[in-house]
Amino acid sequence: MIFCPAAISCIFIPEVKSDPMNSGSLGVAFTIEKGVFAKLSDGIKFNGREITFPTVEFVLKKLGVPGVELESELPLGCGFGLSGACAVAAGFLSENPAFEIFDIAHEAEIVNLTGLGTVTTQAFCGLVIRKNASCPSKAIVERYVWNYEFDFITMGPISTREVLSTQRERIAKIGRKWLKEFMKEVTLENLFRTSNGFAKETGLIEPVLDVIEAVESIGGFASMAMLGKTVFAYKGFEALKEFGEPFKAKIDCCGVRRVDSFRNSVQNRRLEKCEESID
């Protein structure tokens, strides 16, 4: 059984070309210790229900995997990079080389416009700065092993396809500005400052602005996960309670790995030395 961590995108600069392997996004993102579990099955199931999932179907067909059963405590379409995580986890049920799987999962995301840089973040894990737009095997990244725990709350989905189809050029211009700002100082505080600046200037922040302001009012940091009505925060758990049921998750620096069972406690099996991480 395979586990692939979710990925939270903070800043992104979309670049979509005719060749999916030279498409993707520059930007900043991080993986967390919650994500997707996958095991072989017939068809495609997500949390016990059969679903139509073009991104995963693409990967299964390319790699000759008959079917997959996927499980996650996180929702689809809400900014956790689950389409990429599902594609990656399904792909690792095959015997193909790791970066071939990552590249095919990336291609599936580009073709279906479900994500751009998610799979590259999941391939390298931790805090990842993507410095070019490409498939994972061609990616140029800066990777940081951070040990922070963040607070999260989600209030619904945003259509990645719709945003990428209608606002790509405008978002790219704004993203370049804020990526440069973050790279001047790779710190926790600057991650939230620049991520917030990006979300506000693009206008994407509107559905979650009141949540972010509530966290900031108690002295915490908060920003928006791209793309979903999801907020990630630092020292903001109490404020998030006003809006629903928040949860905590640490940054994951181990990446895709084998586990024993669905919902196997990643917290208890943190694999501090990543002995079981997939090379």
CA atoms of 32 and 67, how far apart (whole Å): 26
Full-prediction pTM beyond 0.85?
yes
CA atoms of 216 and 174, how far apart (whole Å): 23
DSSP assignments along 159-211, one per residue? -HHHHHHHSHHHHHHHHHHHHHHHHH--SHHHHHHHHHHHHHHHTTTGGGHHH
Distance separating the N- and C-terminal Cα atoms of the chain: 16
What phi and psi values does residue 42 have, to the nearest 5 degrees? Answer: -95, 140
Confidence at 35, pLDDT banded by 50, 70, 90: very high
Q: What is the domain partition of the chain in residue ranges?
A: 2-146+251-258, 149-249
- Assign 71 to helix, strand or coil: strand
What tens digit of pLDDT does each residue of 177-192 get?
A: 999 999 999 999 999 9
> Mean pLDDT of all residues in the chain?
93
| Under 8 Å between Cβ of 27 and 21 | no
Q: Provide the percentage of residues in the chain whose pLDDT is more than 70.
A: 94
Q: The tokens 């067909």 sit on which residue?
A: 61
Confidence at 262, pLDDT banded by 50, 70, 90: low
Strand partners, 263: none
**pLDDT at 158 (0 to 100):** 87
**pLDDT at 279 (0 to 100):** 34
User: What DSSP element (H or E) covers 41?
Assistant: none
Least confident of 61-75, 120-134, 163-177: 163-177
CA atoms of 161 and 153, how far apart (whole Å): 22
**pLDDT at 265 (0 to 100):** 43
Q: 260 or 261: whose pLDDT is higher? A: 260
What tens digit of pLDDT does each residue of 183-230 get?
A: 999 999 999 999 999 999 999 999 999 999 999 999 999 999 998 999
Token duo for residue 201: 């200037």
- Whether residue 274 has pLDDT greater than 70: no
- Whether residue 276 has pLDDT greater than 50: no
Contacts of 202 (CB under 8 A, 6+ apart): 167, 170, 171, 174, 175
199 vs 109, 130, 171, 227, CA distance in Å?
22, 18, 10, 10
149-249 adopts what CATH topology? Alpha-Beta Plaits (3.30.70)
Residues in the chain: 279
Contacts of 64 (CB under 8 A, 6+ apart): 94
- Whether residue 267 has pLDDT greater than 80: no
Q: The tokens 């999941």 sit on which residue?
A: 122
What tens digit of pLDDT does each residue of 4-20 get?
A: 999 999 999 999 999 99
| Under 8 Å between Cβ of 26 and 117 | yes
- Whether residue 41 has pLDDT greater than 90: yes
Closest residue by Cα to residue 228 from 10, 60, 65:
10
**CATH for the 2-146+251-258 domain, from 1.10.10.10, 3.40.50.620, 3.30.70.260, 3.30.230.10:** 3.30.230.10
Q: The tokens 């095959």 sit on which residue?
A: 94
82 vs 18, 19, 55, 156, 211, CA distance in Å?
24, 23, 11, 14, 23
Q: The tokens 């073709």 sit on which residue?
A: 111
Q: 58 or 266: whose pLDDT is higher? A: 58
**pLDDT at 268 (0 to 100):** 38
- Whether residue 272 has pLDDT greater than 50: no
Confidence at 278, pLDDT banded by 50, 70, 90: very low
Average pLDDT score over residue span 62-71 = 97
CA atoms of 257 and 78, how far apart (whole Å): 23
Q: The tokens 């800043």 sit on which residue?
A: 11
